[in-house]
Amino acid sequence: MISNAQIHFNDLGTPVADNFDDVYFSNDDGLAESNYVFFEQNNLPERFDNHPRPHFVIAETGFGTGLNFLNSWQRFNSKSNESSIERLYFISFEKYPIKLEDLKQALQAWPTLKPLSDQLCDKYPMALQGCHRLEFEQGRVVLDLWFGDVQSSLPQIAYKDKGIVDAWFLDGFAPSKNPDMWQQSLFDAMANLSQADATFATFTAAGFVRRGLQQAGFDCKKVKGYGRKREMVVGQLENPTPHQTTPIYFQQNKASLDNVAIIGGGIATSCLMYNLAKRGIKTTLFCEDDTLAQGASHNRQGAVYPNLQSEFGIPSEFYAHSFLYALRFYQSLAKQNYHFAHQWCGVLLQSVTEAKKLQHHKIATSSLYPEQLIKSVTAAQAQEIANIDTPYGGLFIEQGGWVSPPELTQAVFEAANDLVPNKTYFNTCIDKLERKQNGWYLISKGAELGPFSEVFVCAGEHSDRFEQTKDIGIHGVRGQVSHIEAGESSEQLSTVICHKGYFTPSQNGQHCMGATFEKHSKSREVTVQDNITNRKQLAGFYQGTKFDNSLGEVKSAKAAVRCCFNDHTPMIGQVQQKEDVIQAYRNISKGKFYDYSPQALPHQGLHIVTGFGARGLCSAPMVTEHLVASLLDEPLPFSERVHESLHPSRLYIRDLIRNKV
């Protein structure tokens, strides 16, 4: 579990870390110190004007109060018009994140930064381990804030062999007071993550730091320190050693993304369009329906909350950070006056069975999650939260709630089109995909549409309809949600409740109740029996309560198909050819993770984006952001292990490891 920093402010108003007995920044002028030591000594003013890539990446070894980030953001905004850099990425690590109230107090010292520091404080995340991607100015400035020890966090970053970092701010408390950070493993990891021309600057001139950086491949020299400090050390990577942490079969091939087609129409499609649009990339959308959100995204109300477990494994990391990213994104849309019905009323997970009670107890006692994310509640507390007579305790996710999926899908779609002028063709069913020498063609009723450099298949349960995608292994799970008439007591429900299914607060006099779970079905037929099943399930848990007794009749229903994979994880990335993957990595079945054969890529430029199951509202924004960042060689918001768990090769590789092919 991540612990917040314990700090106090000295007589000069400077924050001091109690654990390290050291100041977060200079008592004299912390902002001037930050600018001189890190920004200027990395030669960033000149490099911003002469950078060969469209994005610039700064990495920092101690976030502290965020002063270095805020100064870099402010200076980035004042760069010359000649600069070709479109986006600034700032990756920072913090073992003991400062509390929000302390952060606000510390940053009051810099009134010139207030417009930026207010935005940082507004999005500052809770103390949850892992990477929090915070976006500002519609993604023009991105802060990847990793909470956890820098030594264990650095190896979690997914990157290619050439690295991603352009400049290092080697910051942190003094080496004598924080020896755990200043280790050779840190310097080596810096070199591994660095671009070939990466630089670094650090306030310290300690000999072992300089020697460690030299051993890692950096050329080092001493320069004048800030203020009364006589010397500091700066340098540049001179001897980069290629180092590939992500297995080659999980690498993404860089895409041109100059002429993009998307096949789909749900929430994942809109999020993909938006994450491309905020980078200035136009898309052409082909939707087989006459409007958006006619598939799994068409329910009136959908619950938004993460699927957490008592261990911080891949699923918990994936859903926790996806949920927090989605929450920030949806709240930002609402602030920009994009309309969609929603209510951040929390989600109450009820311990309706002994098995659920045990599961909830394990999560609550795991000490993995801050109470700000999820907390245990008694039956009395649950009743107060829900405002109905519920007899169960459980877990409460205070920041969760519900949204209208069709309205949200439309809002994200509109936001994407406000950023760039996209093209959309409704009532257009794509029957086939063909790759020719000049690109991909989409075949609809015999007509060829194209060519396109990249095609994203984001069609839910229909994503396997093409010859190229037929082996992805997707299966449908049909679910029906019933709309039941609210009563006097049920109208008082003030949060989403989850038992075996879910039940939403009243909207326009009706609740959403469901959903059924029918495996290996792609039918959207609404049935009376499923309405009966939903009603019996709810009554089975709440029978005899005023809440249940007040409910009226089922007025209508909607059925949709959740598209899933056997490992319950979405699939994103370059479409793989099963036979080619198996042939290229056959040695894995022998326990040898080396001597791979070159893998053919017959479907270059064809990408799959599907398998979101019942939690697309929670995961689609960050999953599609991760995919686009991967294709453009940008820093990735998910860790290496989550990155691998999303890749289209994963099921084939898993079968090879288990000797099933």
Q: What is the arithmetic mean of pLDDT over 252-269?
A: 88
What pLDDT score does 249 carry?
A: 62
* Chain segment 28-74, per-residue pLDDT in tens: 788 999 999 999 999 999 999 999 999 999 999 999 999 999 999 99
What pLDDT score does 661 carry?
A: 81
Please give the C-alpha separations between residue 596 and each of 158, 577, 584, 603, 640, in angstroms, as whole numbers: 20, 16, 6, 20, 20
What pLDDT score does 482 carry?
A: 97
What pLDDT score does 175 carry?
A: 78
What pLDDT score does 21 carry?
A: 74
Pairwise CA distance, residues 315 & 309, whole Å: 8
In CATH, what class is 261-296+426-474+567-657?
A: alpha beta
What pLDDT score does 594 carry?
A: 78
* Chain segment 114-138, per-residue pLDDT in tens: 999 999 999 999 999 999 999 999 9
The verdict on domain 7-237 having CATH code 3.40.50.150 is yes
Q: Are 338 and 92 in contact (CB under 8 A)?
A: no
Whether residue 387 has pLDDT greater than 70: yes
Q: Given the structure tokens 């994936």, which residue do they identify? A: 318
pLDDT tier at 543, thresholds 50, 70, 90 = very high
pLDDT tier at 488, thresholds 50, 70, 90 = very high
Using only the alpha carbons of the chain, give its radius of gyration.
26
Which one is predicted more confidently, 272 or 598? 272
Model-level pTM greater than 0.85? Answer: yes
What pLDDT score does 643 carry?
A: 94
641: tokens are 């292990």
Pairwise CA distance, residues 45 & 39, whole Å: 8
pLDDT tier at 252, thresholds 50, 70, 90 = low
What pLDDT score does 241 carry?
A: 62
Pairwise CA distance, residues 603 & 466, whole Å: 12
* Chain segment 188-200, per-residue pLDDT in tens: 999 999 998 899 9
Pairwise CA distance, residues 176 & 174, whole Å: 5
CB contact burial 236-272 (16+ within 10 A = b; e otherwise):
bbeebeebebbbebbbbeebebebbbbbbbbbbbbbb
What pLDDT score does 80 carry?
A: 84
Which one is predicted more confidently, 105 or 18? 105
Q: At 511, phi and psi to the nearest 5?
A: -105, 150
Whether residue 240 has pLDDT greater than 80: no
Q: Are 278 and 139 in contact (CB under 8 A)?
A: yes
What pLDDT score does 24 carry?
A: 74
- Closest C-alpha to 650, from 587, 570, 593: 570
pLDDT tier at 629, thresholds 50, 70, 90 = very high
* Chain segment 153-165, per-residue pLDDT in tens: 999 998 776 789 9
- Closest C-alpha to 577, from 467, 492, 483: 467
What pLDDT score does 10 carry?
A: 86
Pairwise CA distance, residues 63 & 182, whole Å: 15
DSSP 333-373: HHHTT----EE---EEEE--SHHHHHHHHHHHTS--S-TTT
- Closest C-alpha to 637, from 317, 262, 306: 317
Q: What is the arithmetic mean of pLDDT over 256-275?
A: 95
- Closest C-alpha to 442, from 291, 295, 286, 256: 286
Length of the chain: 661
Whether residue 245 has pLDDT greater than 70: no
Q: Are 261 and 452 in contact (CB under 8 A)?
A: yes
Indicate the average pLDDT of the chain: 93
Q: What share of the chain in percent tops pLDDT 90?
A: 80
Please, is 492 exposed, middle or buried when counting C-beta atoms within 10 Å of its C-beta (0-12, 13-18, 19+)?
middle
In CATH, what class is 347-398+475-564?
A: alpha beta
217: tokens are 């491949």
Q: At 493, phi and psi to the nearest 5?
A: -55, 125
Angle between helices 114-123 and 67-77 (to 10 degrees): 120
What pLDDT score does 158 carry?
A: 83
Please, is 536 exposed, middle or buried when counting C-beta atoms within 10 Å of its C-beta (0-12, 13-18, 19+)?
exposed
* Chain segment 201-211, per-residue pLDDT in tens: 999 989 999 99
Pairwise CA distance, residues 636 & 626, whole Å: 6
Helix/strand/coil (H/E/C) assignment for every residue in 522-551: CCCCCCHHHHHHHHHHHHHHHCCCHHHHCC
* Chain segment 82-120, per-residue pLDDT in tens: 888 999 999 999 999 999 999 999 999 999 999 999 999
Least confident of 233-242, 307-316, 369-378: 233-242
What pLDDT score does 344 carry?
A: 98
What are the structural domain ranges in the chain?
Answer: 7-237, 261-296+426-474+567-657, 347-398+475-564
Q: Are 143 and 136 in contact (CB under 8 A)?
A: yes
